Structure 1
Amino acid sequence: MTHQTTNTNYTSQPNPINNFHLDTKEDEIDLFELWQTIWNQKILIAGITVLVSLGAALYAISLPKTYETNAVIMPPSPSQIEAISLASLKDFDIEQPQISTVYENYLEQLNQTESLLSVLQNPAVKDYFQQKELSDTKRFEVLSESLNVSLPTESKEKLVFKTLETSLKFEAHDPQITLDVINTLLQTTANLTQASIKQNLLTAVQERINTTQLQLNLENERVNREIIAEISRLQDQDNLSLASINQQIDLLRDKSKQERQYRIERLKIDFDIAKTLKIEVPVNPQDYNRQASSITKVDFSNKDPSRYWLGTKILALEIKSLENRLNEDAFIDELAELLKKKEALKLNVTIENLKARKDNFPFSDSLRNLKTKLDRLDQIFKQVTLAEFTAYRLVKPAYLPEEPIKPKKSLIVAVAFILGGMLGLLTALIRGAILKRRAENNIQKQPTL
């Protein structure tokens, strides 16, 4: 008994070396067994793969088709902005639109909300979104998300040629809508850019027009003041001349009157002498006995105060004539010329012309220069208003897509096939492991013979 017990105890002790070999054997992967398991589960693997691929195919078929089109633009050429890039703008300190500024303005407008809202007003685009029964806000969000604008990026490297291409892409379930959106966006943005650039130029030109018009009005008022001052000066000059002429006329008349009075007094003295000498008719002063019949010529211009020899009859008539004279003007030689000058002063042609002047431009260089400047600005304003130009150059136009970019059915099915195969393999391995464990448990449960 003791021997048997001891023997039993000895056999019941674990052997570490044997356990190590057992664990190592259990940890080893039997590739043949693995392949056999996969092969035995081939129908399951194939079924799962086919089922997943079929589901993916049905899913791909159920997805709506998505189409995409794109366009590429670059800065405009010089000829495209020639109508708005007027060289005459420099003469008035107005910045001349350049290719870079026009293109930058276009790119700014391209991302503006106003441009996208204008696209939504396109009848075809509007109908497309109305069919989806989307709100205005949602339409704008969908349009913004579906549109991809790739703007030129600044490169830190010094390149000989700088890429200024801008790419526009749009995705939609309707191929025609993709084309309509791109073309409408390009044209709408071009219109907004035209309006913006033209408005800026027209504002600047209008400011110059207003300033020039103000200068013109001020200069015209200054010229009018000079005209008024000139008229006043000429009138004062005429008044002075008239006063001088009147003074000369008065002096001549007074002088003539005095001379007439003096002459009357002298003639009266001569009359008394002739009366005393009893000379009634003209006689020769050297011969009192000679009769007036022998005198064929009497010199009335002789101013010799002794004229008694003319006789009392002639002297009496002359005295009477001088006393009855009411106006001396006919006997003043210088008076006729003075009266002409006085009459001429009544109508000063220069003054009348100045008063009748309605246009000062022919008589003022400064006014003519300002008027010429104003006319040029008006011409520029008209040119800018009527200018038609393109703010971009279309390198690659948008096209009507024929094939959808989404869904990629072949890719979906291929990925589903691979994933289905992997899922089938995993399922097969798990099922094989479960079956193997069950088989081992059954073997252990069988009684030992």
Structure 2
Amino acid sequence: MNAISPAIQQASSDEIDLAALFHSLWEQKRLVVLVTLLVGLVAAAYAFLATPEYQVQSVLRPAGLKDLDALNRTGVYELKPEQAMRRVGAALESYDSRLEFFRANQGLFEALRQPNRSLEQTFESFNREAFKMLQPDPKKTDNLSAYVGIQLTYPADVNGVALVNGLVEHAIQAERGRIAADLQTVIQNRLNQLDLKMAAARANYEASKEARVAKLLEADSLKRAQLQDELKALRQQLKARRDNRIAQLDEAIRIAKALGIGKPTTPSALGEGERVAQGSVIRTEVNNQQVPLYFMGSEALEAERNALLQRRSDDFTEPRIAQIAKELQLLTHNRQVEVLKQRENEDLFLKDLATWREEATRLRSLQFDVADLKLVTIDQVAVEPLRPIRPKKALILALGLVLGGVLGLFIALLRNILRRKPDLLP
């Protein structure tokens, strides 16, 4: 019983203190209300006096295939709709592109000018805080289509709609200019490549023609030398054959004179001697052995020897010599070499030259105006916002009243504690 009594007394004391606390706060209700109203007035002053900030945005989506078909059909530059959109988005995000637009349109940023900052410093601060790129979340797979956009948060004295739309148009125009420059560069590079191909083909043709002419002339020289060697050998052979024949005739003449054979005769006639023939006699001799040369008689042999000694050339006795002379005469002029050297328009004989010339002509006549090229579809144009995004007046007023009430209660509790402190001292 003694242990329970202090606990009951302590609980009663706590209840009395809590009741006294509520009573004390109620007595200071005017203070709480006054603090709440003061903080609410401060919040209201901020809500209605702070410079309002607005927000606009522009969203771009890929262009249609038909919009880029003319560019892709040139055959020298290929650009898909998604690639074109990404390139425009990169231009929107580029600091250099934004700074270029800022320098070209300083009137749109006149309200942001500060006396102690340069143009670049003013733009740097505004660019870092005001712009935000809009892109689909790569982690989400339920995105219906790709897009890219830019969002701008700006104070009331800045024309944000004109700024965003102007920046989007500037990025599109800048990208068109880059595509035009790229297209001209690609065309010029291909033309240079075609010129190099044609020059290389001409050089290769000249080298091939010279090599072919040299080969033909070398073959003719070799053939001519072989024919001349053959002709010389044949003439030596014929001369040796004539000398051998003369030697044989000399020997046969000596034998015929020794035998007294002056006219042509036969071995059987030589053996019978002279006979007186009665009537007509027909003599037939069959002999399978070659009759010696001296049976021709010394007169015939001497006549043949004299003819051989007087001969100046043996060429007519060998048909091959006439044929060699004909071939040597044909080798004096190589008509194929003459035709190769007399070609006037050698480009006609270059392989693939017609195709290269056709491609070069097509590239030089290629005229593509990028001014009408539609790179993206502007899905959302920046329009004048209906209300500012900051300050949120209702939220600020509600927070001000709540914070004012809390602050008033805190002050009342603090006063109550300070007032009871002397009573608690012994």
TM-score normalised over the length of structure 1? 0.57
2:167 matched to which residue of 1? 185
Supply the AA of the counterpart residue of 2:359.
K
**What count of residue pairs does the alignment treat as equivalent?**
299
1:165 matched to which residue of 2? 147
- C-alpha distance 50-143 of structure 1, shift in aligned 2 (>3 A): same
Cα distance in 1 between the residues matched to 2:65 and 2:83: 12
Cα distance in 1 between the residues matched to 2:421 and 2:193: 102
Q: What's the secondary structure of 1:134's corresponding residue?
A: coil
- C-alpha distance 138-17 of structure 1, shift in aligned 2 (>3 A): same
List aligned pairs for 1:284-295, cutoff 5 A: none
Q: Does 1:375 align with 2:361?
A: yes
Q: Does 1:123 align with 2:110?
A: no
Supply the AA of the counterpart residue of 2:121.
T
**Contact 1:119/1:125 (CA < 8 Å) preserved in 2?**
no
List aligned pairs for 1:38-57, cutoff 5 A: 38-57=25-44
List aligned pairs for 1:378-397, cutoff 5 A: 378-380=364-366, 382-383=367-368, 386=370, 388-397=372-381
Equivalent of 2:186 in 191, 204, 219: 204
**Contact 1:152/1:164 (CA < 8 Å) preserved in 2?**
yes
Cα distance in 2 between the residues matched to 1:169 and 1:29: 60
Q: Does 1:113 align with 2:91?
A: no
Cα distance in 2 between the residues matched to 1:164 and 1:225: 57
**Contact 2:111/2:158 (CA < 8 Å) preserved in 1?**
no
2:55 matched to which residue of 1? 68
**Contact 1:67/1:406 (CA < 8 Å) preserved in 2?**
yes
- C-alpha distance 42-377 of structure 1, shift in aligned 2 (>3 A): same
**Contact 2:91/2:171 (CA < 8 Å) preserved in 1?**
yes
Q: What's the secondary structure of 2:188's corresponding residue?
A: helix
Cα distance in 1 between the residues matched to 2:186 and 2:361: 16
- Shift of the alpha carbon at 1:119? 2.6
Equivalent of 2:198 in 216, 220, 225: 216
2:403 matched to which residue of 1? 419
Q: Percent identity?
A: 23
Cα distance in 2 between the residues matched to 1:366 and 1:21: 114
**Contact 2:52/2:390 (CA < 8 Å) preserved in 1?**
yes
**Contact 1:56/1:412 (CA < 8 Å) preserved in 2?**
yes
- In the alignment, structure 2 segments of 5+ residues that lack a partner are 213-337
- C-alpha distance 175-126 of structure 1, shift in aligned 2 (>3 A): closer
Cα distance in 2 between the residues matched to 1:76 and 1:29: 77
- Shift of the alpha carbon at 1:79? 3.0
Supply the AA of the counterpart residue of 1:369.
T
- Shift of the alpha carbon at 1:366? 4.2
2:123 matched to which residue of 1? 139
Q: Does 1:101 align with 2:76?
A: no
**Contact 1:83/1:388 (CA < 8 Å) preserved in 2?**
no
Supply the AA of the counterpart residue of 2:8.
H
Supply the AA of the counterpart residue of 2:98.
L
**Contact 2:176/2:370 (CA < 8 Å) preserved in 1?**
no
**Contact 2:61/2:148 (CA < 8 Å) preserved in 1?**
yes
Equivalent of 1:28 in 15, 24, 27: 15
List aligned pairs for 1:356-375, cutoff 5 A: 366-375=352-361
**Contact 1:124/1:177 (CA < 8 Å) preserved in 2?**
no
Q: Does 1:84 align with 2:71?
A: yes
**Contact 1:116/1:185 (CA < 8 Å) preserved in 2?**
yes
| Structure 1 vs Structure 2 CA RMSD | 3.7
Q: What's the secondary structure of 1:141's corresponding residue?
A: helix
- Shift of the alpha carbon at 1:224? 8.1
Supply the AA of the counterpart residue of 1:123.
Q
Cα distance in 1 between the residues matched to 2:92 and 2:4: 80
Cα distance in 2 between the residues matched to 1:165 and 1:131: 35
**Contact 1:119/1:181 (CA < 8 Å) preserved in 2?**
no
Q: What's the secondary structure of 1:71's corresponding residue?
A: strand
- C-alpha distance 106-184 of structure 1, shift in aligned 2 (>3 A): same
1:431 matched to which residue of 2? 415
Cα distance in 1 between the residues matched to 2:370 and 2:416: 84
Cα distance in 2 between the residues matched to 1:111 and 1:31: 62
**Contact 2:32/2:409 (CA < 8 Å) preserved in 1?**
yes
- Shift of the alpha carbon at 1:367? 3.6
- Shift of the alpha carbon at 1:73? 1.4
- Shift of the alpha carbon at 1:71? 1.3
Q: What's the secondary structure of 1:88's corresponding residue?
A: coil
Equivalent of 2:387 in 403, 414, 417: 403
Q: What's the secondary structure of 1:407's corresponding residue?
A: coil
Q: Deviations over 1:132-151 (max 9, x none)?
A: 65321342232222101122
**Contact 2:39/2:400 (CA < 8 Å) preserved in 1?**
yes
- Shift of the alpha carbon at 1:127? 2.2
More displaced, 363-372 or 425-434? 363-372
Cα distance in 2 between the residues matched to 1:179 and 1:133: 27
TM-score normalised over the length of structure 2? 0.60
**Contact 1:72/1:165 (CA < 8 Å) preserved in 2?**
yes
- C-alpha distance 72-132 of structure 1, shift in aligned 2 (>3 A): farther
Supply the AA of the counterpart residue of 1:137.
Q
Supply the AA of the counterpart residue of 2:186.
A
- Shift of the alpha carbon at 1:394? 0.9
